[in-house]
Amino acid sequence: MENFEFINAIVLLANFVLVPALSYGSQLALATLSLTIVYGVLRFSNFAQADWMSFGTMAAILFAWLFQSIGITAGIFPTALLALPFAIIVTALFCLLIDRSVYSFYRKQKSQPIVLMIVSVGVMFILQAIVRFIIGPNDRKFFDGEKYIIHALDFKNYFGLEEGLTIKSTQLITVIVALIAMISLFYFLQKTKLGKSMRAYSNNEDLALLSGINPEKIVIVTWIISSILITTAGVLYGLDKSFKPFTYFNLLLPMFAAAIVGGIGSPIGAVIGGYVIAFSEITLTYAYKKFFVYLMPEHLEPSGLMQVLSTDYKFAISFIILVIVLIVRPTGIVRGKII
Amino acid sequence: MTKFLSCTNMTGGYGGEDIIHSCDIEVDKSQIVVIVGPNGAGKSTAMKAMLGMISLKEGNLILDGSDISKLSPQDRVAAGIAFVPQTMNVFSELTVEENLEMGAFLRDDNIQETIGEIYNLFPAMKDKRNQLAGELSGGQRQQVAVSRALMTRPKVLMLDEPTAGVSPIVMKEIFERIITIKNSGVAIVIVEQNAKQALNIADFGYVLVGGENKFSGEGQELLKNQEVRKSFLGG
Ligand SMILES: Nc1ncnc2c1ncn2[C@@H]1O[C@H](COP(=O)(O)OP(=O)(O)OP(=O)(O)O)[C@@H](O)[C@H]1O
Ligand SMILES: [Mg+2]
C-alpha cells in the first residue's frame, strides 16, 4: 500500500507538472529561439515577436478552416499541421514586406538598436490591429483529430492506480515537432555554409562584409527562420491550449525572460531558457496538497493548498527570474550578449 | 605605367572633418608596400578608404586597369582585394576552420586545397582548427586573421598591423610568411608600428603624417633617410 501511495504521487506530478511543462517548455523554446536569432543577427530586441506568433497562428487557422471547408483533414492529426507550411510562407512573406517597408530604412541609417526596438513596438501595434481585424479578439479552439494518446481513465483502470496520467496528442506532437525544428536549426547553423555565415555575421558584421557575405541575404534568411520558428511555436501552443491574441501577446514576457536566462543571442541558451521558465512557472504555481497527502502519514497531512504562488501570478515568475538573472548573471546561463 | 593597384589623391574621412588628404598609395604584384607613421596619422583610414569602407570625397582607385571606386566592399573583395583589419579581425565565436571557410565564402570551388596550403604556411593553425578563434593567443589569432584573408586567393592583400602585440619571434615568423605570400605573386600593403623591421622587407614605403604622404621611397632608402630616422624610427 505504501508503495502505491508513492507511485500515485509520482503519477500525479507527471500528469500535472512534468507533461504540461515539457510541452509548454518546447513551445516557449521555439518562440524564444526566434526572438534570440533576430536579436543575435539583426541586433535588436523585437517586441513584435509575440504578435508575429499571433499572426502566424491566425494564418494557420484560416488555412485549416479552408482545408476543412473543402473536406481536407489530416485524419487523426490536427488539420492545422497541414496548414502550418502555408501559414509559414504567408508569415515569412509578410515579415519580409514589413522588413522592406519599415526596418530596412532604419538599417540603412545604421540606427541604434534602441531605435529599432521602438520601431518594433510600432510593428507590434500594427500586427495586433491586423490580427484583431481579421480574426477578432476572441478565444478560438482549432484542434481536431484524435485528442488523447493516453487517457487518465484508461491509465487508472489499466494500472489500478488512483491517479491517472493523461497525455494529449498535442503534447506529443509539440515535443516531436519542436525536437525536429531544433535539430534542423542547429544543423543549419553549425553545418551549412549559409548557417555559418549567419553566425559569422552575428559575431562580427564588418569582417563578414570583408569576407564577401551579403548582409541583405542574411537579413532575409533570418526573417524566414524567425517566421518558421514563431509560426510553429504559435500553432503548437494554440493546438495545446487555444488561440487568443491577447494570451499570445502575454507570452512576450516569458519569451524575453527565457532568452535572457539562457543568454540572449545564444540558440542553445534559448532552448534551456524556454524549459527553465516553463518548469519554474508550472512547478511554482502547482498546488502540491494532494501530492503530500499521498506521501505523508495521515496526521502530518497539510491543510493548505501547498502552492507557492497562485496561477494568477504566473507572469510574475518570469518577471522575478528576469530581474534576478539581470542582477546576478546578466550574460545568462550560456554566455550571451549583454543587453 | 600605373601600378597593379593604384589609389591616388584620396581625400575623405568618417563624415566629419577629412582625415586623409590627397593621399597616394600604390602597389604592384609581387611587391610589399609598407605604410608607417605616428598614431592617428590616418593609416587605418587610408586602408579602409582603399576597401570602400568609408566614402571618399575625391580619389582615383584603379585595380588592374579598371576603376573600382564605385564598388562596394564586398565587390572589391570579389575583385581580388583582401583586408585584415587592425582590430576584431577574426570571427571569435567561430572555430579556426570555420574562419577559413568564411574567408572562402565567395568561392564555389573546392577550398580544401587552399586550406591545406594555409596549414602548411601556419602549421599551428592545423592543431587548433577546431578551437574557437576567440580562445587563441594574440599571435595565433593574427595568423587566423591573415589566413582568413588568404582564403579568397587574393591578388592584393592588405594587412593593418599584423604584428600588433606579438612577440619578436612570432613577428619574424609572420614577416617571413608575408614574404612567401609575396613571392607567390600577391601585391601586399602593410601598415606597421614595427617600422624598422617592416621597412626592411619592404620594396616601397610611405610615411603618413596628418593624413598626408610625408615621405615615400624604397624601403632601404627610407631607412637611411635622416629625417625619417629621427622622427619615426627613433634615431
Ligand atoms: N570610426 C571612426 N569614426 C570617426 N573617426 C575615426 C574613426 N576611426 C578613426 N577615426 C579618427 O581618424 C583619425 C585617424 O585614425 P586611424 O585609425 O586612421 O589612425 P592610424 O594611423 O591607423 O593610427 P594607429 O597607428 O593608432 O592605428 C584619428 O584621429 C581617429 O580619431
Ligand atoms: Mg591604425
Asked if CATH classification 3.40.50.300 holds for the domain at B1-80+159-167+188-235, the reply, yes or no, is yes
Q: Could you tell me if residue A239 is inside a domain?
A: yes
Q: Is A336 a residue whose pLDDT tops 80?
A: no
A138 and chain B in contact, CB less than 8 A: no
CB B27 within 8 A of CB B40: no
Three cell numbers, residue A169: 496528442
Q: Is A33 a residue whose pLDDT tops 70?
A: yes
Choose the residue to mutate in B14, B23, B47 for probing ligand 1, maximizing ligand atoms within 8 Å of C-beta: B14
Nearest-atom index, ligand 1, CA of B191? 22
A312 Cβ contact list (under 8 Å, min separation 6): none
Q: Could you tell me if residue A338 is inside a domain?
A: no
Q: Could you tell me if residue A157 is inside a domain?
A: yes
Which bound ligand lies closest to the C-alpha atom of B35?
A: 1
CATH number at residue A233: 1.10.3470
Determine whether the interchain pair A197/B85 forms a contact, defined as Cβ–Cβ distance below 8 Å.
Answer: no
Structural domains of chain A, count: 1
B175 confidence band (pLDDT: 50, 70, 90):
very high
A207 and chain B in contact, CB less than 8 A: yes
Of A72, A176, A87, the residue nearest A134 (C-alpha):
A87
Which structural domain range is residue A168 located in? Answer: 2-328
Which bound ligand lies closest to the C-alpha atom of B206?
A: 1
pLDDT confidence of residue A339: 53
ipTM: 0.89
> What are B26-85's pLDDT values in tens digits?
999 999 999 999 999 999 999 999 999 898 999 999 999 999 999 988 899 999 999 999
The pLDDT of A34-42, averaged and rounded, is 94
Q: Is A2 a residue whose pLDDT tops 60?
A: no
A99 Cβ contact list (under 8 Å, min separation 6): A219, A220, A223
CB A225 within 8 A of CB A101: no
What is the spatial distance between Cα A15 and Cα A28, in angstroms, rounded to a whole number?
Answer: 19
B124 confidence band (pLDDT: 50, 70, 90):
confident
Q: Is B234 a residue whose pLDDT tops 70?
A: no
Q: Is B160 a residue whose pLDDT tops 90?
A: yes
Q: Could you tell me if residue A145 is inside a domain?
A: yes
Q: Could you tell me if residue A293 is inside a domain?
A: yes
A214 contacts in B (CB within 8 Å)? 74
This prediction has a pTM of 0.90
Determine whether the interchain pair A207/B73 forms a contact, defined as Cβ–Cβ distance below 8 Å.
Answer: no
A212 and chain B in contact, CB less than 8 A: yes
Q: Which residue type is seen at A28? A: L
Q: Could you tell me if residue A335 is inside a domain?
A: no
Choose the residue to mutate in B19, B190, B194 for probing ligand 1, maximizing ligand atoms within 8 Å of C-beta: B19
Query: What is the residue extent of each domain of chain B?
Result: 1-80+159-167+188-235
Choose from B81, B87, B102, B158 for mutation: most chain A CBs within 10 A.
B102
The pLDDT of B145-149, averaged and rounded, is 94
Determine whether the interchain pair A212/B94 forms a contact, defined as Cβ–Cβ distance below 8 Å.
Answer: no
B51 contacts in A (CB within 8 Å)? 210
